[in-house]
A and B are shown apart, each in its own frame.
Chain A
Amino acid sequence: MPDAPSKPALAEGLTLALVALACIAFQVWLPTTHVKDNDYQAAVEVLNAHAQPGDVLLLNPWWSERARLFIPESVPVVGYLGSDADPLELNPRIWVLEQPNLPEVGRSQFWRAFSQGRTELSSEIRLGNLSLRLYKNGRARPVLFDARARLAEAKVYLELLDGSRQSCQWSGHSHRCPNGAEVLTEWRELKYQPRQCVRFFPPAQGAKLVAEFANLPAADSVVLMGGYIWEHAVHLGGVTRSDLGLEVNGETSTIPLPPGTDGLQRVEHKSSPAGSTVRVWVTAPNPADREVCFELYAFGAATP
Chain B
Amino acid sequence: MTADLEARRDRLIAWGLFAFAFVLLLATEKAAGFVRDESFYFYAGENHARWFQLLLHSPSQAFTDAAITRWFDYNHEHPAGMKNLYGLSFLLFNETLHLLRPAAAFRVPAFALAALILPLTFLLTKPLFGRNAGIYAALVWLLVPRQFFESHISCFDVPVAAVWLLVVYCFWQALSRPRWWLYTGLAFGAALATKHNAYFIPVALIPFSLVKGWQSSVGKPLARALFVGINAAFVFAVVLYGVMVLALGPQGVLDSFRFPSAQLAIFVAAVGVGSWLLRRLSQSDLATFRAMAPLVAMAGLGPVIFYLHWPYLWHHPVDRTAWYISFHLTHNHYAWLYLGELLRGPPFPLMYVWVKTALTVPTSLFIPMVLGLIWVAVRIIRDRVTMLELLVLVNALVSILLISAPNVPHFGGVKHWFPSMPFLAILGAGSMVRGSDALRGWLATKKRVLSENVVFGVLAVLCFVPALIASVRIYPYGTSAYSELAGGLPGAASLGMQRQFWANNVSGIFEWLNSNAKPGERVWLHENHNLQTRDLQRNGMLRSDLVFVEGPWQADLVAYQYMQEFREQEFETWQAFGTTRPVTGLYLDETPQIIVYRRQR
Measuring CB to CB, which residues of chain A are less than 8 angstroms from any residue of chain B?
Answer: 1-6, 9-10, 12-17, 19-24, 26-28, 30-31, 33-35, 61, 63-66, 68-69, 71, 73, 76-77, 80-81, 99, 102-106, 186-189, 192, 194, 229-231, 234
Within the assembled complex, what's the spacing in Å between the Cα atoms of A65 and B495?
Answer: 16
Within the assembled complex, what's the spacing in Å between the Cα atoms of A194 and B218?
Answer: 71
B564 touches A26 (CB 8 A): no
Is B371 located at the chain interface by the 8 A CB criterion? yes
In the complex, the chain A residue whose C-beta lies closest to that of B363 is A23
B445 touches A104 (CB 8 A): no
B595 touches A65 (CB 8 A): yes
Contact of B487 among A5, A71, A104 (CB under 8 A): A104
Q: How far apart are B536's CB and chain A's nearest CB, in angstroms? A: 24
Within the assembled complex, what's the spacing in Å between the Cα atoms of A186 and B576?
Answer: 9
In the complex, the chain A residue whose C-beta lies closest to that of B436 is A13
A27 touches B470 (CB 8 A): yes
In the complex, the chain A residue whose C-beta lies closest to that of B489 is A30
Contact of A189 among B362, B568, B582, B584 (CB under 8 A): B568
In the complex, the chain A residue whose C-beta lies closest to that of B366 is A19
Measuring CB to CB, which residues of chain B are less than 8 angstroms from any residue of chain A?
Answer: 335, 340, 344, 362-364, 367-368, 371, 431-432, 434-442, 444-445, 449, 452, 459, 462-463, 465-467, 469-470, 473, 484, 486-488, 490-496, 564-565, 567-568, 570-572, 574-575, 579-585, 587, 589-592, 595
In the complex, the chain A residue whose C-beta lies closest to that of B584 is A69
B484 touches A26 (CB 8 A): yes
Known: A2-B449, A68-B595. 17 other contacts (CB 8 A): A5-B441, A10-B442, A13-B434, A13-B435, A16-B463, A20-B463, A27-B466, A27-B473, A27-B484, A31-B589, A63-B591, A68-B581, A69-B582, A81-B564, A103-B487, A194-B567, A229-B568
Within the assembled complex, what's the spacing in Å between the Cα atoms of A70 and B439?
Answer: 52
Q: How far apart are B498's CB and chain A's nearest CB, in angstroms? A: 12
Which B residues are CB-close (under 8 A) to A102? Answer: 487, 490-491, 494, 590
B344 touches A3 (CB 8 A): no
In the complex, the chain B residue whose C-beta lies closest to that of A14 is B439
Contact of B437 among A9, A23, A104, A106 (CB under 8 A): A9
Q: Is the interface of B mostly helix, strand, loop or mixed?
A: helix
User: Taking A17-B459, A19-B364, A30-B589 as contacts, is the C-beta distance between A10 and B438 under 8 angstroms?
Assistant: yes
List 30 A–B pairs whose Cβ atoms lie within 8 Å, in order of A's numbering.
A2-B440, A2-B452, A4-B444, A5-B441, A12-B438, A13-B438, A15-B371, A16-B432, A19-B367, A19-B463, A20-B364, A20-B459, A20-B466, A21-B462, A22-B363, A22-B484, A24-B462, A31-B589, A34-B589, A61-B493, A63-B592, A69-B583, A77-B580, A104-B490, A186-B575, A187-B571, A188-B568, A188-B571, A192-B564, A231-B565
Within the assembled complex, what's the spacing in Å between the Cα atoms of A231 and B436?
Answer: 52
Within the assembled complex, what's the spacing in Å between the Cα atoms of A204 and B32?
Answer: 49
In the complex, the chain A residue whose C-beta lies closest to that of B579 is A73
Which A residues are CB-close (under 8 A) to B484? Answer: 22-23, 26-27
Which A residues are CB-close (under 8 A) to B570? Answer: 194
Contact of A34 among B442, B590, B592 (CB under 8 A): B590
Q: Which of A20, A99, A188 has the most CB of B within 10 A?
A: A20
User: Taking A23-B363, A229-B568 as contacts, is the C-beta distance between A81 and B496 under 8 angstroms?
Assistant: yes
A16 touches B459 (CB 8 A): yes
B459 touches A13 (CB 8 A): yes
Which B residues are CB-close (under 8 A) to A76? Answer: 580
Which A residues are CB-close (under 8 A) to B363? Answer: 19, 22-23
Within the assembled complex, what's the spacing in Å between the Cα atoms of A76 and B579?
Answer: 11
Q: How far apart are B449's CB and chain A's nearest CB, in angstroms? A: 7
Which B residues are CB-close (under 8 A) to A15? Answer: 367, 371, 435
Which A residues are CB-close (under 8 A) to B469? Answer: 24, 27-28
Within the assembled complex, what's the spacing in Å between the Cα atoms of A23 and B431?
Answer: 18
Within the assembled complex, what's the spacing in Å between the Cα atoms of A34 and B473?
Answer: 13
Which A residues are CB-close (under 8 A) to B568? Answer: 188-189, 229-231
Q: How far apart are A188's CB and chain B's nearest CB, in angstroms? A: 6
Q: How far apart are B426's CB and chain A's nearest CB, in angstroms? A: 16
B367 touches A16 (CB 8 A): yes
A68 touches B437 (CB 8 A): no
B441 touches A20 (CB 8 A): no
Which B residues are CB-close (under 8 A) to A3? Answer: 441
Q: How far apart are A3's CB and chain B's nearest CB, in angstroms? A: 6
Within the assembled complex, what's the spacing in Å between the Cα atoms of A10 and B431?
Answer: 11
B439 touches A4 (CB 8 A): no
Q: Which of B432, B584, B590 has the most CB of A within 10 A?
A: B590
Within the assembled complex, what's the spacing in Å between the Cα atoms of A69 and B595?
Answer: 9
Within the assembled complex, what's the spacing in Å between the Cα atoms of A194 and B583?
Answer: 19
B439 touches A17 (CB 8 A): yes
Q: How far apart are B367's CB and chain A's nearest CB, in angstroms? A: 5
Within the assembled complex, what's the spacing in Å between the Cα atoms of A106 and B591?
Answer: 15
Q: How far apart are A255's CB and chain B's nearest CB, in angstroms? A: 20
Which B residues are CB-close (under 8 A) to A17? Answer: 435, 439, 459, 462
Within the assembled complex, what's the spacing in Å between the Cα atoms of A69 and B462?
Answer: 38
In the complex, the chain A residue whose C-beta lies closest to that of B574 is A187
B431 touches A106 (CB 8 A): no
Within the assembled complex, what's the spacing in Å between the Cα atoms of A2 and B451?
Answer: 9
Which B residues are CB-close (under 8 A) to A9? Answer: 434-435, 437-438, 441
Within the assembled complex, what's the spacing in Å between the Cα atoms of A5 and B445?
Answer: 9
Which B residues are CB-close (under 8 A) to A34? Answer: 589-590
A2 touches B437 (CB 8 A): yes
Contact of B486 among A24, A104, A192, A229 (CB under 8 A): A104
Q: Which of B493, B564, B572, B582 has the most CB of A within 10 A?
A: B493
Within the assembled complex, what's the spacing in Å between the Cα atoms of A87 and B351?
Answer: 34
A61 touches B445 (CB 8 A): no
Within the assembled complex, what's the spacing in Å between the Cα atoms of A16 and B567?
Answer: 41
Within the assembled complex, what's the spacing in Å between the Cα atoms of A10 and B590?
Answer: 39
B572 touches A187 (CB 8 A): yes
* 9 A-B pairs with the lowest CB-CB distances in the bound complex, closest first: A103-B487, A13-B435, A104-B491, A23-B466, A5-B438, A9-B438, A104-B487, A5-B441, A20-B462
Which B residues are CB-close (under 8 A) to A5? Answer: 437-442
Q: How far apart are A107's CB and chain B's nearest CB, in angstroms? A: 10
Q: How far apart are A18's CB and chain B's nearest CB, in angstroms? A: 10
In the complex, the chain A residue whose C-beta lies closest to that of B378 is A8
User: Taking A63-B592, A66-B587 as contacts, is the C-beta distance between A13 and B442 under 8 angstroms?
Assistant: yes
Which B residues are CB-close (under 8 A) to A26? Answer: 466, 484, 488
User: Taking A80-B567, A188-B571 as contacts, is the C-beta distance between A68 and B582 under 8 angstroms?
Assistant: yes
Which A residues are CB-close (under 8 A) to B463? Answer: 16, 19-20, 23
